[in-house]
Amino acid sequence: MTDSSKSAATAPASSMWGGRFAGGPAAIMQRINASIDFDKRLYAQDIRGSKAHCRMLVKQGILTQADGDSILAGLDQVLAEIEAGAFPFSMALEDIHMNVESRLAELIGEAAGRLHTARSRNDQVATDFRLWVRDAIDGMEKALQDLQRALVARAEEHAATVMPGFTHLQAAQPVTMGHHLMAYVEMIGRDRGRLSDARARLNESPLGSAALAGTSFPVDRHFTATELGFDRPMNNSLDGVSDRDFALEFMSAAAICAVHLSRLAEELVIWTSAQFRFVKLSDAFTTGSSIMPQKRNPDAAELIRAKTGRVIGDLNALLIVMKGLPLAYSKDMQDDKEPVFEVADTMELAIAAMTGMIADMNVNTDVLAGAAGAGFTTATDIADWCVRELKMPFRRAHHVAGSLVKLAEDKGCDLQDLSLAEMQAIEPGITEQARAVLSVESSVASRTSFGGTAPDNVRAQVAAAKTRWL
């Protein structure tokens, strides 16, 4: 045994654990048990929760007004010290709760010890964590609104800009760039809805659940819930200290959102390639190559793609932590915060980067227009014309359009380059009027069904989005 481990093993009993333990923890136990390195991020929520608890104790006559005033003033000083970067966090004190309480005792003396009346670190951390996740949701929701704003602005700009629409990454039918971007506005809108739903469900206060069974003190849990902006106290004290659904739901909503960001990032990677050249990103969101001077790499988009995997992994990590825990609190749950913090940080960065790229991208309208008709993307339009004008069953019309595509392929030309005589050789009923539907502009203009790609539809979607989301 080393000198350091001997001293750790024979250290005085911990002041926070009380007289049950004759000796202190081993050095390795201190390291694995401490959470202050990461849970110090909860300092503002911890102090806010402590102040609400203190006011409730005074209101209920459990604390004197003098002690309450002293505690509140001391907590304000602790908060100021932390925000000024002058607070010495200690691993020996394990967590943010004991670090704050220890400093409070240094400032105001014995009254600090009365703050923990009718409270446990179990309901304290559950309250702090809910407050933190609630703040994170509010921040992410605002960032997603900014992303929607950027998407809507570019969609309005390109409401009539034609481009190829894809299925299987094969040219399918012409669409507009505005329509394409508005699809992501809808996705992000659902992401915001999931975050809003998660926020509503988490907005119940665990404070007053104590360790697991509630408390014998005459606390007013409705008062502290209102003080902290919660809708109500949680109904069951066991659930109050052991639930982490709110963290899982936040991470789940974030993971779905990250997948949406990754899909858009993948499109930017494809669109900026030399083979597509649909859009160009400036130096602000690209990097060069150490060996190939011509390269402009869409690294911001690629990193968003990669960070999505981290968000999904963090969600899985917490699901696995929680899956085998009996009620109520177990120390496993100390590992709930780091994955949540990482998800919030990762999403903040990814959303900001995507918002920047959308605003930054230069759309190559000429390239898009040329690509919009490649691959016989208006073949469905001639089939629809046959159904509409010749009263042909769609399956037969599909066969006619397919035969026209094959003829154009054999001749090495586009559908609109076929002569009327060549088209009538396949279907005699085709007239010159049918040829008009083969332009990409005509194709997108005809898609006027609700939710379709017609430019006027896109402009209507933009107007609706401004009312719904912005």
HEC string of the chain equals: CCHHHHHHHCCCCCCCCHHHCCCCCCHHHHHHHCCHHHHHHHHHHHHHHHHHHHHHHHHCCCCCHHHHHHHHHHHHHHHHHHHCCCCCCCHHHCCHHHHHHHHHHHHHHHHHHHHHCCCCHHHHHHHHHHHHHHHHHHHHHHHHHHHHHHHHHHHHHCCCCEEEEEECCEEEEEEEHHHHHHHHHHHHHHHHHHHHHHHHHHCEECCCCCCCCCCCCCCCHHHHHHHCCCCEECCCHHHHHHCCHHHHHHHHHHHHHHHHHHHHHHHHHHHCCCCCCCEECCHHHCECCCCCCCCCECHHHHHHHHHHHHHHHHHHHHHHHHCCCCCCCCHHHHHHHHHHHHHHHHHHHHHHHHHHHHHHCEECHHHHHHHHCCCCCCHHHHHHHHHHHHCCCHHHHHHHHHHHHHHHHHHCCCHHHCCHHHHHHHCCCCCHHHHHHHCHHHHHHHCCCCCCCCHHHHHHHHHHHHHHCC
Beta bridge partners of 165: 173
- What amino acid occupies position 444? V
Choosing from 15, 168, 205, 222, the catalytic residue is 168
Is 262 part of the annotated catalytic residue set? no
Nearest residue to 154 (alpha-carbon basis) of 431, 465, 374, 467: 465
Choosing from 53, 289, 419, 443, the catalytic residue is 289
Is 168 part of the annotated catalytic residue set? yes
Residue numbers annotated as active site: 168, 289
